[in-house]
Amino acid sequence: MDWLTIGLIIFVISWLQILCAYLIYLERKVAAWVQDRKGPNRVGPWGLFQPIADGLKFLFKEQVVPAHVHRFLYILAPSIAVITTMLAFAVVPFGPTDVPDPRQKRFIIAPNLDIGLLFIFAIASLNVYSIILGGWASNNKYSLLGSLRSAAQIISYEIPLALSVLGVIVLVGSLNLEHLLNEQARLGIGGWLIWYQPLGWLLFFASALAESNRLPFDLPEAEQELVGGYHTEYSGMKFAMFFLGEYTHVTTVSLLMVILYFGGWHFPFVAEFNANYPGATGVKVLVLWTKASLVILVIMLLRWTLPRFRFDQLMHLAWMGLVPLSLLNLLSVMIVRHWSLSPWLLLPCSVIILTAIPLLHRWKSRQLDWA
């Protein structure tokens, strides 16, 4: 039994709690800033202790289990939300993993997992049960509607999510996240995969947003039409657990995006691949989390920028938009790799696919509907 792992596990679990609490605070502050309000500002300076107050309130609120629900499934649903999202975090490196002595410092719970990326997708796909079961157990028509929509949405967007990442995997040839990161860092800023996979990144971003039920894809909640969707009947700690799951997922996705496309902890001059000045590890951790925070901030701003999709538009976007685009992206990567062409060709290729295909789509979509 090594104490490093145990300490790491305790640290990660508590860090995720604190992070999620403050992400909710940030979300409210950003919302307030966009809407020209002040946001939470009563508890502590700038409302900084608001998350603590919220946490206490969640704990001391009555644990309402309405009489009409299916008790076991009602409690199981939020637990699944927390367990799956937190488990997926286990294979995400949240700092540099090429430190000289991995027994002293480690920034990943399960190192060297051969199927890292696949593991995240597999575990995250289980999150759909929290929503289906939550909606079904609640015995509320809004909840059931919300959960059905959400289940269809989540399983639909899993396909473009997994397809868009295939381009990255063909380029690097590994599913191991540490390896994917180190390969990019080794090549410097020209190695960041965003240069070769801008289309893949865009598809990944859209699908990941849909997977985590964030606006503009927050159909399952859709306050205005479904009250609260699948969590209408939830309150107190169980309600908080759904949110814990959502924000943990957002964190995982942001880190994943930075690791897959933006070079992870690498930054030119500051955190190079073979930087070994004192404190380099700390700088790398800082760079990684700064990048991830920027992604989270973008996700939060998107919430107040884009309107919500209608459900049929949502499904059309997944099946008739993102899937063909990601297939084309994969084909282009395949061709470039097979004839060993310069990977820089992929940049114009992505742009062409992104602009040409939607135009073709508009023109062709009516003609294809002959049945």
Partner 1 sequence: MATELSAWQPLGLYLLAILAFVLGVLALAHLVAPPRPRPIKDMPYESGVDPLGDARLRFDIRYYLIAVLFLLFDVELLFLYPWAVAAYADNGLPVALRDAAFLGVLVFLGLLIIGYLYEWAKGGFRWR
Partner 2 sequence: MSVGDILFWIVGLMTALCAVMVVVTQHIVRCAIWLLFTLAGTAGLFFLLGLDFLGATQLFVYVGGTLVLVIFGVMLTATGPFLQLRAGAGEWAIAIIVGLLLYGLIALSWLFADWSKLPESALPDDPRQMYHTEQLGRALLGDTSVQPASELAGVPGSLGAADKASGKLQEPPKRQASAFLLPFEIVSVHLLVVLIGAAYLARAKRKRVVVAPRESL
| Chain residues 268-327 in contact with partner 2, contact rule CB under 8 A | none
Rounded to whole angstroms, the Cα distance separating 362 from 365 reads: 6
What whole-number distance in Å separates Cα of residue 366 and Cα of residue 371? 11
Instruction: Report the alpha-carbon distance of residue 253 to residue 212 in Å, rounded.
Output: 8
**Interface with partner 2, residue 206, by CB under 8 A:** no
Q: Closer CB to partner 1, residue 359 or residue 368?
A: 368
CB of 126 to partner 2, least distance (A): 6
Cα distance from N-terminal residue to C-terminal residue, the chain: 63
Q: Say which entry of partner 2, partner 1, none residue 188 contacts (CB below 5 to 8 A, set by partner kind).
A: none
- Judged by CB, which is closer to partner 1: 46, or 223? 223
Mark residues 73-112: x for contact with partner 2 by CB under 8 A, - for none: x--x------------------------------------
Measured distance CA(311)–CA(317) in Å, rounded: 10
Distance, in Å, from the CA atom of 135 to the CA atom of 91, rounded to the nearest integer, reads 30
Q: How far apart are CA 143 and CA 133, in angstroms?
A: 10
User: Exposure pattern of 60-82 as b/e (b: 16+ CB <10 Å)?
Assistant: eeeeeeeeebeeebbbbbbebbb
Q: Binding of partner 2 at residue 136 (CB under 8 A)?
A: yes
User: Which member of 60, 269, 277, 363 binds partner 1 (CB under 8 A)?
Assistant: 60
Site membership for partner 2, residue 123 (CB under 8 A): yes
87 binds partner 1 (CB under 8 A): yes
* Interface map 20-59 toward partner 2 (x if CB under 8 A): ----------------------------------------
If one asks whether residue 186 binds partner 1 (CB under 8 A), the answer comes out as no
With CB cut-offs between 5 and 8 Å by kind, which of partner 1, partner 2, none does residue 73 bind?
A: partner 2
76 binds, among partner 1, partner 2, none (CB under 5 to 8 A by kind): partner 2
Cα–Cα nearest to 93, from 78, 76, 110, 77: 110
- Please choose, from the candidates 320, 314, 81, the residue with its C-alpha nearest in 3D space to the C-alpha of residue 217: 314
Structure tokens that stand for 368 in this block = 């294809």
Establish if 139 lies at the interface with partner 2 (CB under 8 A).
no
DSSP state of 342: -
